[in-house]
Chain A
Amino acid sequence: MKLPPFDYACPTTLPEAVQLLATSNGDAKAIAGGQSLVPMLAFRLAQPSLLVDLRKLPDLRGIRISAKGVTLGAMVRWRDIEDDERLDTAHPLLKAAIAHVAHYQVRNRGTVGGSLAHADPAAEMPGIAMTCDAEIAVVGKSGAHVIQAADFFQGALTTALTPDEIIVEIRLPAWPAGRRWGFEEFARRRGDFAMAAAAVFYDQDANGKAHNAHVGVIGVADRPLRLPAVEDVLNGRAIDATIIAKAEAAASAAVDPQDDIHASAAYRRALVGTLVERALKRAAA
């Protein structure tokens, strides 16, 4: 459980950081809060030759809120989100989801960019990114570009990032007032990785019908999922008990979880339905 040997660099500019990653033949790792990477080093599941510490890069910090939406710098920590009262209205779903991330010691260190790059299939931030059609801005040796969340997550601990790329920020589209939403997570203990979680939101028209429904789940596949089949159940309908029951069934039918040491596939399938149902009840309340 001692860390393997590696070199360490702490660049002060983004180009310098990209350069360090680009010249290490894919053998370097960027480190932000270290809450996933350091345990992986301790278990020697990761043995990079170089750690590039992002802590001195000023461009990666800060939460910006504008008419276009919420932008989270990659080095924003969970604690920054929890403490930002503007987010109560600017993005309540984000705030509710992040409250489930690990324990406060981890929340003081763990970062938005680190979680996205690590891409744990049960992590909340990737789930919110998927559910909310987020854009992930990255910079690499060929310059800056934007990756849609739907293209970013490619499998368990696998993303579209190339070894020289660093996440700069994540942009969540604007959150209109009056949007209905719910977030439900179940973990065996508070702060554990989610057995599953569901994030839902929709907007309502003048007749009380839902549109623009977004339903995302984590913990049931190799990456966070959107569930279009459930969204189809919701769009154009008033969200009542009948529709919620249909959505629950559609959610269970839409996922194909595997057995693992913490839960059976059948249980997880039912759990996703239950969490979608409860999130929708909360949204409709």
Chain B
Amino acid sequence: MRTVNSLIGSPIERLEDLRFLRGRGQYVDDLARKDMLHAAILRSSVAHGRIRSIAVAAARALPGVHSVITAKDIGNRVPRVPMRLQPLPDFEPFGQPVIAETKVRYVGEAIAVVLAETAAIAEDALGLIEVEIEPLPAVADRRASAQDASLLFEDKGTNLAIKFRAVRGDAAAAFADAPYVRRESFRTQRHMALPLEPRGLLAEWDAARGRLTLSGGAKVLFFNRRTLAKQMGLPESAIEIVENDVGGGFGARGEFYPEDFLIPFAARHTGRPVKWTEDRREHLMCVNHAREAECDVEIACKRDGTILALRGHAYVDVGAYMRTNGAVGARNVAQFMSGPYRIPHIDVDVALQLTNKTPVGTYRGPGRFETDFFRERLLDMVAQDLGLDRVEFRRRNLVSQREMPYQIATITPFESKDEFDSGDYQTTLDRCLDEIKWTEKSKLAGKLIDGRYHGLALGCFIEGGAAGPKESARIVLEPDGLYSVYVGSSAIGQGLETAFAQIAADALEVTIDRIRGVFHGSTCYVDDGYGAYHSRSVVMGGSAMLDAAKNLREAIRAQAAQRLGCQPSEVEIVEGSKAVGPGGKSIALNGLSSEGISAEGAFLNKKHTYTYGAHAAHVAVDAKLGHVELVDYVVVEDCGRIINPLTVHGQAIGSVVQGLGGAMMEHLVYDQEGQLLTGSLADYLIPTASDFPNIRAIVMGDHPSPINPLGAKGAGEGGIIAAGGVMANAVANALSAFGAQPRELPLTPTRVWELAQAPRK
């Protein structure tokens, strides 16, 4: 009998790959229905203004146009996009109407929906809609926002959505006695997740049965169903949201957006299936933006490099509305500014300032990328001031294993307490130093070799995972003896089917080919699910699956006991294929039940897992071009018990590449009128295959999490989190002869060139 798990921890190839490589993935845009209408959305070209009139007659008259929907057609009060996370009453006044009612507050906000026989006709009709908007002064950045001279929401009298505060210990007292203090300001730029497949939806309304089917769901389908049911006045059970294959999520795809109401509404309004496929320009101006943060912070240390305290202010430009998860990044900027380091006294507040720009949401490593840039830059400056070795300074201050669980700063006003669960932060740092050959390469630091300055840097990070409150799973022993697995979390490209098949097969003690399939995401598979965010799918869904497997095995034993005429406790399940009773009497599982046997499982959790690790980079800077070549990049992370080293490794590499995009190129540029100037991929630059070929990732699994039965921790965000800080520190190190101190991302050629304009020391 098998008693040892063998699949968990094995680098098995992704079960998804064969389907995708054969071109059999099915994305929402692949779907078509008879009599389907195509939607195109008229979006505001004005950042801030009052709508005076919308004239749609000419558009409606265009041959091929079925109808045009504006706020007037929707009803008395247009529904708002809700807050999914941190649903504080403070945010309610700043909610986004699903279609502009009286004002427009950002370029890209929906004003009207055209439904036509083809997507091209629908787009033609957009040009025939006449909208009169009285322009109001655009609030273009967080400073203008704080002045409250022009208000996005006049009733509120302020553009400040909320201020969070992260507190630990007594920072004021610690600063009063501190022998060394340094104050600095840093800034990260607005950029975004940018999955390669833009969003899309297909809504079908069955008038006879009063049922709605919405394809194109992702990430958090159950929450979106609850939201949509309320907005459309339907019972939840009348709505099915279907998850299709997706070309990337990264936090942005699958959140509830205005279109998630508008397209289903249009289907009910017209009585015909309605499809909408977002184009790239819309995607750049409509999907959640992220990362636009600034800080003005002080750090206090002893002369030996012991960090005493951190205090100051951070500012996050949250765009025009508070929607779904728009507060997470800002909270994380404050709460995780201390990173994996022991900082006993903390007092950092963060102001969420509304501006006339696209609303923000989470993007892989939300808030953490920003705040790690601030902190790791600051740490290098402190080490330089105090004449300390950068590595030893960090080592001295990393939270140690004996301090676990380690309480971090608490966020108010909603009392978000949190603690690190486990780990040995020194080991990933050591491994990272080994891998990049730190000692040997340190000799190159700041040297000019063949026209390029070499630089070296490192940084440490933590990555939160396992958001609760719950995840659900269900496993069915089919009549043919195979197992079907159903989970409430969603696939956004992270290899979910593979990981869950591994977990289920091990828990059921069967080979992986006995798992008929892993069915996920869609609202029809389990009663409730919480989706794919905060690196939670495997930790939460996997733990729920262990519970479901245990329950299923009990159900099988009970059923077999009846057939074998014994007690359930006397039945043993062997190889997942037969039940053996006392005296060796056995029954094959494929004949056990004609309907199949089903069992559910759940995992409830209020704590978070903390994956941790270190990054190191070696760069060569052409100071005259301002060009940074990445010579070597290493990320080492420990994500607890590893389900599949191959997929985790792939995620780590991809995550680093995205982080390098944020560090070096990606920037959503707005002008002072609130116009987005980077409206295509010719201007919004993302890393391509040839940009960063030298990236290595090492994933360790030495310290399982104590807070879930799998021992797993979140994975997939660690590669992005430290990338900005590490690249900036590497450039600073390379250009140390010029006294370069980058305080802002991205490290564009202009910025790098400017850093090298000071006279050489």
Could you tell me if A261 and B677 are in contact, using CB atoms closer than 8 angstroms?
A: yes
Contact with B along A150-172 (1 / 0, CB 8 A): 00000000000000000000000
Cα separation A190 to B689 with both chains bound (whole Å)? 10
**CB nearest neighbor in A for B626:** A267
Segment at the interface with B among A1-9, A58-66, A86-94, A135-143: A1-9
Could you tell me if B690 and A190 are in contact, using CB atoms closer than 8 angstroms?
A: yes
Contact of B685 among A39, A43, A192, A267 (CB under 8 A): A192
**CB nearest neighbor in B for A47:** B127
List the 4 closest A-B pairs by CB distance, nearest first: A1-B279, A2-B120, A267-B750, A274-B624
Could you tell me if B688 and A189 are in contact, using CB atoms closer than 8 angstroms?
A: yes
**CB nearest neighbor in A for B687:** A189
Cα separation A274 to B625 with both chains bound (whole Å)? 8
Contact with B along A161-192 (1 / 0, CB 8 A): 00000000000000000000000001011101
Contact of A2 among B119, B625, B750 (CB under 8 A): B119
Could you tell me if B281 and A1 are in contact, using CB atoms closer than 8 angstroms?
A: yes
Mark B residues whose CB is within 8 Å of A. Answer: 118-120, 123-124, 127, 279-281, 624-627, 665, 667, 669, 677-678, 680, 682-683, 685, 687-688, 690-691, 748-750, 753-754
Could you tell me if A270 and B123 are in contact, using CB atoms closer than 8 angstroms?
A: no
- A193 on the B face (CB < 8 A): yes
Residues of the B chain whose Cβ atoms lie less than 8 Å from the Cβ of A43? 281, 680
Cα separation A43 to B282 with both chains bound (whole Å)? 11
Mark A residues whose CB is within 8 Å of B. Answer: 1-5, 39, 43-44, 186, 188-190, 192-193, 195, 261-264, 267, 270-271, 274
Residues of the A chain whose Cβ atoms lie less than 8 Å from the Cβ of B753? 267, 270-271
Residues of the B chain whose Cβ atoms lie less than 8 Å from the Cβ of A195? 749
Could you tell me if A186 and B625 are in contact, using CB atoms closer than 8 angstroms?
A: yes
Sample of 16 more A-B contacts, CB < 8 Å, known A44-B127, A261-B667, A267-B749: A1-B281, A3-B120, A43-B680, A188-B665, A188-B685, A189-B688, A190-B688, A190-B691, A192-B682, A195-B749, A261-B678, A261-B683, A262-B750, A263-B748, A267-B753, A271-B749
Residues of the B chain whose Cβ atoms lie less than 8 Å from the Cβ of A261? 667, 669, 677-678, 683
Residues of the A chain whose Cβ atoms lie less than 8 Å from the Cβ of B123? 1-2, 44
Cα separation A189 to B124 with both chains bound (whole Å)? 34
Cα separation A270 to B687 with both chains bound (whole Å)? 25
Could you tell me if A267 and B669 are in contact, using CB atoms closer than 8 angstroms?
A: no
Cα separation A258 to B96 with both chains bound (whole Å)? 38
Contact of A186 among B279, B665, B749 (CB under 8 A): B749
Contact of A267 among B665, B690, B691, B754 (CB under 8 A): B754
**CB nearest neighbor in B for A263:** B750
Cα separation A262 to B684 with both chains bound (whole Å)? 10
Min CB gap B86→A, angstroms: 33
Cα separation A2 to B682 with both chains bound (whole Å)? 18
Min CB gap B42→A, angstroms: 13
Min CB gap B690→A, angstroms: 5
Residues of the A chain whose Cβ atoms lie less than 8 Å from the Cβ of B120? 2-3, 5
Residues of the B chain whose Cβ atoms lie less than 8 Å from the Cβ of A39? 680
Once A2-B119, A267-B749, A267-B753 are accepted as A-B contacts, the answer to whether A189 and B685 lie under 8 Å apart by CB is: yes
Cα separation A192 to B690 with both chains bound (whole Å)? 12
Could you tell me if B625 and A263 are in contact, using CB atoms closer than 8 angstroms?
A: no
Min CB gap A210→B, angstroms: 23
Cα separation A195 to B691 with both chains bound (whole Å)? 16
Q: List 14 A-B contacts (CB under 8 A).
A: A2-B118, A2-B123, A3-B120, A5-B124, A43-B680, A186-B749, A188-B685, A190-B690, A190-B691, A261-B677, A263-B749, A267-B750, A270-B753, A271-B625
Number of CB contacts from chain A to chain B under 8 A: 63
Could you tell me if A1 and B669 are in contact, using CB atoms closer than 8 angstroms?
A: no
Cα separation A271 to B625 with both chains bound (whole Å)? 6
Once A1-B279, A43-B281, A263-B748 are accepted as A-B contacts, the answer to whether A270 and B680 lie under 8 Å apart by CB is: no
Min CB gap A59→B, angstroms: 32
**CB nearest neighbor in A for B278:** A1
Cα separation A186 to B680 with both chains bound (whole Å)? 21
Residues of the A chain whose Cβ atoms lie less than 8 Å from the Cβ of B665? 188-189
Residues of the A chain whose Cβ atoms lie less than 8 Å from the Cβ of B688? 189-190
Cα separation A186 to B628 with both chains bound (whole Å)? 12
Residues of the A chain whose Cβ atoms lie less than 8 Å from the Cβ of B677? 261
Residues of the A chain whose Cβ atoms lie less than 8 Å from the Cβ of B627? 186
Min CB gap B681→A, angstroms: 10
Cα separation A231 to B561 with both chains bound (whole Å)? 96
Cα separation A274 to B687 with both chains bound (whole Å)? 25
Once A43-B281, A189-B688, A261-B669 are accepted as A-B contacts, the answer to whether A4 and B124 lie under 8 Å apart by CB is: yes
Contact of B749 among A2, A4, A188, A190 (CB under 8 A): A188
Residues of the B chain whose Cβ atoms lie less than 8 Å from the Cβ of A274? 624-625
**CB nearest neighbor in B for A193:** B682
Residues of the B chain whose Cβ atoms lie less than 8 Å from the Cβ of A264? 750, 754
Could you tell me if B280 and A1 are in contact, using CB atoms closer than 8 angstroms?
A: yes
Min CB gap B114→A, angstroms: 12
Residues of the B chain whose Cβ atoms lie less than 8 Å from the Cβ of A270? 624, 753
**CB nearest neighbor in A for B677:** A261
Cα separation A262 to B667 with both chains bound (whole Å)? 10
Min CB gap A51→B, angstroms: 15
Cα separation A39 to B280 with both chains bound (whole Å)? 12
Min CB gap A156→B, angstroms: 15
Residues of the A chain whose Cβ atoms lie less than 8 Å from the Cβ of B748? 188, 262-263
Residues of the B chain whose Cβ atoms lie less than 8 Å from the Cβ of A2? 118-120, 123
Cα separation A267 to B750 with both chains bound (whole Å)? 6
Cα separation A39 to B682 with both chains bound (whole Å)? 11
Residues of the A chain whose Cβ atoms lie less than 8 Å from the Cβ of B691? 189-190
Q: Which of B118, B625, B688, B691 has the most CB of A within 10 A?
A: B625
Cα separation A193 to B685 with both chains bound (whole Å)? 11
Cα separation A5 to B748 with both chains bound (whole Å)? 39
Residues of the B chain whose Cβ atoms lie less than 8 Å from the Cβ of A190? 688, 690-691
Cα separation A63 to B626 with both chains bound (whole Å)? 38
Residues of the A chain whose Cβ atoms lie less than 8 Å from the Cβ of B667? 261
Cα separation A241 to B749 with both chains bound (whole Å)? 26
Cα separation A274 to B749 with both chains bound (whole Å)? 13
Residues of the A chain whose Cβ atoms lie less than 8 Å from the Cβ of B687? 189
Cα separation A72 to B667 with both chains bound (whole Å)? 39
Residues of the B chain whose Cβ atoms lie less than 8 Å from the Cβ of A193? 682
Cα separation A237 to B431 with both chains bound (whole Å)? 57
Residues of the B chain whose Cβ atoms lie less than 8 Å from the Cβ of A3? 120
Residues of the B chain whose Cβ atoms lie less than 8 Å from the Cβ of A5? 120, 124
**CB nearest neighbor in B for A1:** B279
Min CB gap B674→A, angstroms: 15
Cα separation A270 to B627 with both chains bound (whole Å)? 13
Residues of the B chain whose Cβ atoms lie less than 8 Å from the Cβ of A271? 624-625, 749, 753
Min CB gap B657→A, angstroms: 13
Residues of the B chain whose Cβ atoms lie less than 8 Å from the Cβ of A267? 626, 749-750, 753-754
Cα separation A137 to B123 with both chains bound (whole Å)? 39
**CB nearest neighbor in B for A267:** B750
Min CB gap B420→A, angstroms: 38
Min CB gap A269→B, angstroms: 11
Min CB gap B679→A, angstroms: 8
**CB nearest neighbor in A for B118:** A2
Cα separation A26 to B669 with both chains bound (whole Å)? 35
**CB nearest neighbor in A for B750:** A267
Min CB gap B583→A, angstroms: 70
**CB nearest neighbor in B for A190:** B690
Residues of the A chain whose Cβ atoms lie less than 8 Å from the Cβ of B683? 261-262
**CB nearest neighbor in A for B126:** A44
**CB nearest neighbor in B for A270:** B753
Cα separation A155 to B665 with both chains bound (whole Å)? 28
Cα separation A262 to B627 with both chains bound (whole Å)? 13
Cα separation A190 to B685 with both chains bound (whole Å)? 12
Cα separation A109 to B694 with both chains bound (whole Å)? 31
Residues of the B chain whose Cβ atoms lie less than 8 Å from the Cβ of A262? 683, 748, 750
Residues of the A chain whose Cβ atoms lie less than 8 Å from the Cβ of B669? 261
